[in-house]
Structure 1
Amino acid sequence: MAIGRSPQSSSQTPDQGAARRPSRARGIPEATVARLPLYLRALTALSERSVPTVSSEELAAAAGVNSAKLRKDFSYLGSYGTRGVGYDVEYLVYQISRELGLTQDWPVVIVGIGNLGHALANYGGFASRGFRVAALLDADPSVVGTSAAGLPVRHMDELESIVESQHVSIGVITTPPGAAQQVCDRLVEAGVTSILNFAPTVLTVPDGVDVRKVDLSIELQILAFHEQRKAGDEPDRTESVLDRAPGPVRAAAAKLRRAAGGGNGKARAAEPAAKDGEAGTTKPGKGGEGELSAVMPA
């Protein structure tokens, strides 16, 4: 089903669903807005399998949230479900797409055509959601003139004219961190009001400009933290089990630990976790930017 077209069975029309910023114009919480793409992804998968209706419990499970939260989220959008029947999948896909502004074309410029820029340019998920890559830009003379995803890489000197002629309001930054703020400033001055930042740095923007940040290294650091905690908890869990074991088992375990260099037979304590301010920080600074899941949507 093509997003951007109202299902034939619906009395709603695209004209009635004019694009708007739901989180501001209608008072929808940002946390709810962040979950709408999850619902849309789950609903799109159901639509592709020709599933006509879905219950709140089924949809919540597919989206990875609880059903009470889903119903609360949908209460901000209107009443789309029918008691005892559930939600019409096709109609709900259209309604959420409309709320997210996906029923219109969104031209996007990508600045910084290295490996990540190339990958994003070739990512098919953008077009299926209404995001059209209008231009690829770079300042490196060795990159300008090459192509990615069938588009030529153009020089940054053309940024302003491209933004104006293509009516671009969304920019994607995939430059090294040292160049990101300068690129951000150029985008804002050209008229771009929404920026997706992949550079590992905090951007400063004026009021009226939205920035969302994706930092893959931070996501990996968070996973490393949890893996470290799992490893650190292992000796405690093992000793707890041994404490409840029969005497002969405890004696045999103590003998094995002594043979392995454990000294008095007690398990060695795990290294303490890093304190705040030490290496391995797990909470990225907000910096006025929104945080995004590092995993690209399906």
Structure 2
Amino acid sequence: MDTQRTGPRAHARAAEPGAPARARSRDVPAATVARLPGYLRVLHALTADDVVTTSSEELAAGAGVTSAQLRKDLSFLGSYGRRGVGYDVQHLSEQIAVVLGLTTQRRVVIVGIGNLGHALANYSVFAERGFAVVGLVDADPGVVGTAVAGLVVRPPEELAALVSSTDATIGIIATPAAGAQEVCDALVAAGVVGILTFAPRSLRVPAHVDLRAVDVASELQILAFHDRRRTGTGA
């Protein structure tokens, strides 16, 4: 996942009520923010296994980082663990959730209800991670009016009203590349402040909008490079 434009916020501020004093008082580096979801994923798995405390080594190994990096990242949250005891799993999960803004459910609109859009609309993990898909939009007359994941697909001209009526703040672009910038502009005009795009092209957004891009083909090409270098095939 690449960040094509992250707006003026090079760091993510933990300013929600209940955030630890240290996290409220200063910014958390963007690189740390990028690793926090991985820590939270491991903590959720530990919770599911009824684990109460975890060591920095165990948590770091599950997240694929060094224990030194983990401790440095968590220090920005004001969480240092207890020597000989480790980290309280539930408390640390709550701290990270606050910093990531997951204490309030984020509402999402998906534009482009093809195969990928269908899969995203039915992706149950969204709800588990604090996100609610509240609207679906597609330009295909044959798709408009159909129901997907309990939601009726709306036409593009209703996007602004949909965003307004649902209080959606995040838009997901699952359209072909050709129309992605137009969709992006429409989402921005409608009032969303965060966009996740799966369209394989660069998009432009204003400074107040955060854009994240998932380019599956590019990631596969990078894997192909490493595979060729390792095996020597295709040289």
Q: Which residue of 1 aligns with 2:5?
A: none
Q: Which residue of 1 aligns with 2:142?
A: 142
- Verify the 8 A CA contact 2:53 2:86 in the aligned structure 1: yes
Shift of residue 175 of structure 1?
Answer: 0.4
Q: Which residue of 1 aligns with 2:126?
A: 126
- Verify the 8 A CA contact 1:80 1:92 in the aligned structure 2: no
**In structure 2, what is the Cα distance between the partners aligned to 1:132 and 1:79?**
29
- Verify the 8 A CA contact 1:171 1:187 in the aligned structure 2: yes
Shift of residue 147 of structure 1?
Answer: 1.7
Q: SS in structure 1 opposite 2:28?
A: coil
Between the two structures, name the one with larger relative contact order (CA 8 Å, sep ≥ 6): 2
Q: SS in structure 1 opposite 2:27?
A: coil
User: Structure 2: which amino acid aligns with 1:89?
Assistant: V
Matched ranges for 1:91-106 at <5 A: 91-106=91-106
Task: Give the alignment's TM-score, normalised by structure 1.
Answer: 0.70
Larger radius of gyration: 1
- Verify the 8 A CA contact 2:71 2:80 in the aligned structure 1: no
Q: Which residue of 1 aligns with 2:64?
A: 64
- 1:115-154 per-position Cα deviation (integer Å, ceiling 9, x unaligned): 0000000100000111000100011101101121121111
Q: Which residue of 1 aligns with 2:176?
A: 176
Identity across aligned pairs (percent)? 61
**In structure 1, what is the Cα distance between the partners aligned to 2:80 and 2:140?**
50
Q: Which residue of 2 aligns with 1:16?
A: 18
**In structure 1, what is the Cα distance between the partners aligned to 2:189 and 2:107?**
17
Task: Give the alignment's TM-score, normalised by structure 2.
Answer: 0.88
Matched ranges for 1:1-298 at <5 A: 15-17=17-19, 26-232=26-232, 272=235
User: Structure 2: which amino acid aligns with 1:16?
Assistant: G
Structure 2, unaligned runs of 5 or more = 1-15
Shift of residue 80 of structure 1?
Answer: 4.5
**In structure 2, what is the Cα distance between the partners aligned to 1:223 and 1:157?**
40
**In structure 2, what is the Cα distance between the partners aligned to 1:178 and 1:15?**
42
Q: Number of paired residues?
A: 218
CA RMSD of aligned residues (A): 1.8
